[in-house]
Amino acid sequence: MCQVDVEKIKKLNQNLIEIERKILHLAIEEDGLALKKINNKSNGITDYELSVSISFYQGENEVIDWEESLKGCSVNKSTNFADAKNHNTTSCCWENTTLNEQHHCWVLHRLYDDFQITWKDILTIDCVWFDVYVQYQYKSIVI
Task: Return d(Cα 70, Cα 84) in angstroms, integer.
Answer: 16
Q: Where are the alpha helices (DSSP H) in 40-51?
A: none
Q: Is residue 87 part of a domain?
A: yes
Q: How confident is the model at residue 127 (pLDDT cuts 50, 70, 90)?
A: very high
As a whole number, mean pLDDT of residues 44-64 equals 96
Q: Is residue 103 part of a domain?
A: yes
Give the HSE-up count for residue 51: Cα atoms under 13 Å, Cβ half-sphere. 11
Q: Is residue 53 part of a domain?
A: yes
Task: Return d(Cα 46, Cα 90) in angstroms, integer.
Answer: 43
The answer to whether the beta carbons of residues 49 and 124 sit under 8 Å apart is no
pLDDT of 90 above 90: no
Q: Is residue 61 part of a domain?
A: yes
| φ, ψ of residue 76 in degrees (nearest 5) | -115, -5
Residue 87 sits in which domain range?
Answer: 3-138
Task: Return d(Cα 8, Cα 17) in angstroms, integer.
Answer: 14
Q: Is residue 107 part of a domain?
A: yes
Q: Is residue 143 part of a domain?
A: no
State pLDDT tens for residues 11-38. Answer: 999 999 999 999 999 999 999 999 999 9
Domains in the chain, number: 1
Q: Is residue 23 part of a domain?
A: yes
pLDDT of 2 above 60: no
